[in-house]
Amino acid sequence: LVAHPAAFRERWGIREDGARHGPSQPPPRAEWEALGAEVILSKEPYRLAPGCWTTGEVPRRSFEGSSETSSRGYRRAYREGTAFKEDYLEDDQAIVVHVAGKGLVVLSGCAHSGIVNTVQRAREISGVEQVWAILGGFHLAPESDAVIAQTIDAMIEIEPQLVVPSHCTGFRAIAEFARRMPEQFVLGTVGTKYIFV
Mean pLDDT computed over 130-159: 95
- Find the helix or strand (DSSP H, E) in which 6 lies: none
Range in 28-32, 65-69, 155-159 the model is least confident about: 65-69
pLDDT value for 65: 62
Distance CA 109, CA 56 (A): 12
Mean pLDDT for all residues in the chain: 92
pLDDT value for 64: 86
pLDDT value for 99: 97
Per cent of the chain over pLDDT 90 is 73
Distance CA 144, CA 155 (A): 17
pLDDT value for 25: 83
Report the 10 Å Cβ neighbour count for 36: 6
pLDDT of 123 higher than 80: yes
Q: What confidence tens digit (pLDDT) does each residue in 1-47 have?
A: 999 999 999 999 898 888 998 998 889 999 999 999 999 999 999 99
Query: Which of 142 and 131 is assigned the larger pLDDT?
Result: 131
Q: Kindly give, in sequence order, each residue whose CB lies less than 8 Å from that of residue 62, ignoring residues fewer than 6 positions away.
A: 114, 116, 117, 120, 154
Distance CA 16, CA 13 (A): 10
**Which of 129, 123, 136, 126 has its CA nearest to residue 166?**
136
* Cα dist from 24 to 7, 10, 28, 154, 189, whole Å: 12, 6, 12, 34, 28
pLDDT value for 166: 95
Distance CA 94, CA 111 (A): 8
Length of the chain: 197
Mean pLDDT computed over 77-90: 89
Helices (H), the chain: 29-34, 115-126, 145-158, 171-180
Q: What confidence tens digit (pLDDT) does each residue in 186-195 have?
A: 999 889 999 8
Please give the model's pTM, rounded to 2 decimal places: 0.91
Confidence of residue 67 (pLDDT cuts 50, 70, 90): very low
Q: Kindly give, in sequence order, each residue whose CB lies less than 8 Å from that of residue 182, ignoring residues fewer than 6 positions away.
A: none
Confidence of residue 139 (pLDDT cuts 50, 70, 90): very high
Per DSSP, the three-state class of 42 is coil
- Cα first-last separation, the chain: 26
Mean pLDDT computed over 106-116: 95
pLDDT value for 18: 85
1 contacts 38 by C-beta, under 8 angstroms: yes
